[in-house]
Amino acid sequence: MAEPTLWTTIAQEIEKDISAQIFRSGTKLPSESEFAHRFGVNRHTVRKALAHLADKDLVWSKRGAGVFVTGVKSSYRLTQRVRFSETIRASGRHPSRDILGVSLQAASPDQARVLGLGDGALVHIFHGVSKIDGHPVALFQSAFDATKFPDLGTHLQEMRSVTQALKACGVDDYKRTSTEITAVVADPVQANHLRIKPGDPLLRTKSINSDLEGRPIERGLTFFTADKVQLVHNDDMSSN
Amino acid sequence: MAEPTLWTTIAQEIEKDISAQIFRSGTKLPSESEFAHRFGVNRHTVRKALAHLADKDLVWSKRGAGVFVTGVKSSYRLTQRVRFSETIRASGRHPSRDILGVSLQAASPDQARVLGLGDGALVHIFHGVSKIDGHPVALFQSAFDATKFPDLGTHLQEMRSVTQALKACGVDDYKRTSTEITAVVADPVQANHLRIKPGDPLLRTKSINSDLEGRPIERGLTFFTADKVQLVHNDDMSSN
DNA sequence: ACCTATTTGTGCGTATGTATC
DNA sequence: AGATACATACGCACAAATAGG
């Protein structure tokens, strides 16, 4: 790849502006003629570049209307090191979080089993909405052993970051040891949080994060809006 | 773990019968009283075992009705070696395929891009329905460079196996180099093939299989029924 | 609409072995 | 040794939901 033809460099230029949110998701791009003038090339060259971006599902065109930026799918790589904020920032977008609650609850059977806890043990529940550039993309819920990390709740409240809060509790690093993926349709409550319609598809992941010795630390449950997110395994993310 | 208490051995016994399909997916288990009599224990002991299996999402109970085998979610591991038949057989179930068609078509832009083909190049399209124990679980579509593998079409017709057909074309081994995962809802055609309702959730994977030198060989597009399948990354599949 | 048998869910009591303080 | 706590296992009774007539 990476032959420096006119149209490839133009395509890369436009792609950069899309991922930098200069051309925002869903908005109309400048016209082909305008691009042609701006880059000092023929309109056909611009068309070739845009066609390539359309192949990659970055833009779509409508005859007589213009070329529009496709709803960008953020790619989450399935690796041992899964960090929401880093992943998003690396793609030039701005991550944020709405925290819906930090609470102390009795562990669910699933949480207890995964974290190796007894019946009725207490867990810190951290749940909220993950956003990219202000748009909600995922509902997350994390469970931590409250006995093992007594102060984690207050730390989570203050720092609003799992990685930071765990560090304050003596966990310098952790890794993703398991991710189970399936699909569901959004119920009204989920749809409301994610600003989608009930019945829209969601990616559901159940994950386990463990310390470096392999002991489970966190049980996560996340619902991604499928129209804005895709999970990627072993990829260079070339189509993003 | 693994203390041989009564209830754990009973739980293992029942779990074994579930995975051996003696208790089929979706069917009702014998009543707690019947289990108690059969194992010669108190009903509470059976209940403890069943509660454990319910924790693992293997069974679910309905008061007044009985305990039912959960629709078993087949786990597909996301690794470098993804083989449908092997994965299923390894879990003690019986894989099969309905072939909907083997055809020669002009490559879609996406297929051409991934396989590194020129405009209008021909590809072999292999598509059909994957089944487990006779129940449809996925719609698949594979695209191969027809210039590179001229005889692949006939081989696919005959052997009905991608791995076998590729071997006949001189590709001894291949590996999964990329999997993109998202979720969609089934349209009426997909729903009909998969015997589900339109609007039910599907897992959609776009995959690339490459030869051992990393050259893309196959572009795959698969729709899994989310209620019967989950994808697993880096897991021991203990809950299945 | 009703009854009834079945089945799960829940509560309480008893006993035993094992580990811990 | 004694006291305490906990998990296991059994027995009985009743409530609540379901399925079938």
pLDDT at position A72, please? Answer: 61
**Domains within chain A, CATH numbers bracketed:** 6-69 (1.10.10.10), 74-233 (3.40.1410.10)
Higher model confidence: residue B51 or residue A83?
B51
A204-232 pLDDT, tens per residue? 999 999 888 888 899 999 999 988 888 88
Residue A26 has pLDDT above 70, yes or no: no
Closest CA to B138 of B92, B90, B79, B207: B207
B175 touches chain A (CB under 8 A): no
Residues of A in contact with B75 (CB under 8 A): 180
A120-139 pLDDT, tens per residue? 688 999 999 998 878 889 99
Under a CB-based contact definition with an 8 Å cutoff, are residues A100 and A136 in contact? no
Distance CA B107, CA B124 (A): 9
* A232 → closest Cβ in B56, B176, B180: B180
Higher model confidence: residue A79 or residue B42?
B42
User: Exposed (0-12), middle (13-18) or buried (19+): which is B44, by Cβ within 10 Å?
Assistant: exposed
Q: Looking at residues A163-168, what average pLDDT do you find?
A: 90
A65-77 pLDDT, tens per residue? 778 877 667 778 7
pLDDT at position A106, please? Answer: 82
Structure tokens at A103: 């609470």
Distance from CA of B170 to the nearest CA of A (A): 25
Q: In this complex, do B78 and A78 lie within 8 Å of one another by their Cβ atoms?
A: yes
Whole-prediction pTM: 0.77
pLDDT at position B26, please? Answer: 79
Residue A20 has pLDDT above 90, yes or no: no
Residues of A in contact with B51 (CB under 8 A): 109
What protein residues sit with their CB closer than 7 Å to strand C?
B 29, 31-34, 44, 47, 50, 61-67
pLDDT at position A239, please? Answer: 40
pLDDT at position B2, please? Answer: 47
Residues of chain B with pLDDT under 70: 1-3, 72, 82, 90-92, 234-240
pLDDT at position A237, please? Answer: 40
Residue A62 has pLDDT above 80, yes or no: no
B98 touches chain A (CB under 8 A): no
pLDDT at position B236, please? Answer: 44
Instruction: Say which residues have a Cβ less than 8 Å from residue B133's Cβ, sequence separation at least 6.
Output: B21, B93, B94
B181 touches chain A (CB under 8 A): yes
